[in-house]
Amino acid sequence: MDSTVEWAVVDSGIGPLLLAATDRGLVSVVFHAREAVRARALERLAGQLGAEPAECATGRLDEPIRQLAEYFSGGRREFRTPLDWALTTGFNRQVLRELAEGVPYGAVVGYGELARRVGQPGAAQAVGAAMGANPLPVVVPCHRVVESDGGLGGFGGGLETKRTLLALEGVLPQPLF
């Protein structure tokens, strides 16, 4: 694996996000990245990638940070930053790539529809598991996957975070307060 993993914590419209990148691209986005969450996430990344994460050293996170800031300010509708898919494999990777490429800003897709798109029409629950294991939330927009009856479904960052992201994209009305 890569000998360096760089990380930074940035403020966003949904609280602090931990971003991590290898020389291949953005590899991880972690919600609610306060101290305890950050420490666990960095320890997990070290184990998964076989490299000790270092706080932002080369500027490899500059572009993802800039693009996320633009997204949260309403000025960006798609991310154009290299992604490192090292933390996902097989079916999960297939589903996440389809989501990243096939569900644009301001749109939603059902778990079952996403399963059909990757040729596994009976795999709606497995799609849900893939969303829960998404190492790149927001950038790979798992918040855009909803239940077929219009329910929000689950979300690793919490349903309030999912609602906020969908409101930002114009899918849901902005909260009253």
Query: Which active-site residues does the annotation give?
Result: 142
Rounded-to-integer distance, Cα 165 and Cα 162, Å: 5
CA distance 171 to 174: 9
Structure tokens at 38: 């950050």
